[in-house]
Amino acid sequence: VLTALLIGNVVGAQEPTEANVRYTRKAKKASAKSGLLKTEFEAKKREFDDQRARTDAVGEAQDPFAKQVHAVSLEMLDKQIEMLEKLIKTTDPNDPEYPDYLFRLADHHLEKKSYYELQAGSLYDKIYDAKSGPKADKKAAEALLAKQRRFQDEAKDASERATRVYAALVDDPQFASYKR
């Protein structure tokens, strides 16, 4: 009986005859869209070039939304720093949260430093274009360089403030057990 079942399965596994085939549609081969990636890349490049073209002579984005986002992020950082400074002034140095406030204040100063460094770094291409591009403009290049120096000075100032706060945190033996 077992042999008959095995032989029956082997016979049942044969190719179906033409009469038993239900569908006669031919299979189509899938083809990739050959230029899709190239097209997407070119669209992104055009978008980037358009954005770059919308900057004025001193490198400010003319898009009001982009300006607003940068202004709001810097304003929020300043408010957080101001609030932490007030909190530190009103908090007793023996409070267990005091070293955490100091650490957060230093961290916010470092965020501000990185913001200004990013702004200064974003001007390198614009300065280069203003100095040596087809539309070389010495006045625009000087204005961009001055703006870049201001950003770099602000970054240095924020870094020094963070260092002073970290020094206060590290130098005080009262905070030696602080785990950060």
Does residue 78 fall inside a structural domain? Answer: yes
- Please check whether residue 66 is in contact with residue 54, taking contact to mean a CB–CB distance below 8 angstroms: no
Cα distances (angstroms) measured from residue 71 to each of 26, 114, 143: 62, 15, 20
61 forms beta bridges with 55
Does residue 100 fall inside a structural domain? Answer: yes
Query: Can you say whether the dihedral through the CA atoms of 14, 18, 22, 27 is positive or negative?
Result: positive
pLDDT at 58: 44
Does residue 33 fall inside a structural domain? Answer: no
Number of domains in the chain: 1
Does residue 43 fall inside a structural domain? Answer: no
Element (H, E) at 124: helix 124-132
Cα distances (angstroms) measured from residue 132 to each of 15, 50, 108, 148, 173: 74, 20, 37, 17, 55
Domain span holding position 106: 62-172
Does residue 37 fall inside a structural domain? Answer: no
pLDDT at 174: 85
Q: Tokens 């980037």 sit at which residue?
A: 48
Q: Tokens 């201001």 sit at which residue?
A: 150
Residues of the chain with pLDDT under 50: 56-59
Does residue 42 fall inside a structural domain? Answer: no
Q: Show Cβ contacts of residue 35 under 8 Å, excluding neighbours closer than 6 positions.
A: none
- Per-residue H/E/C for 17-65: CHHHCCCCCCCCCCCCCCCHHHHHHHHHHHHHHHHHHCECCCCCECCHH
Does residue 8 fall inside a structural domain? Answer: no
What is the distance of C-alpha 171 from the center of its chain?
34
Tokens of 146: 């001055």
pLDDT at 23: 65
Indicate whether this model's pTM tops 0.75.
no
First-last CA distance in the chain: 77
Does residue 5 fall inside a structural domain? Answer: no
pLDDT at 14: 59
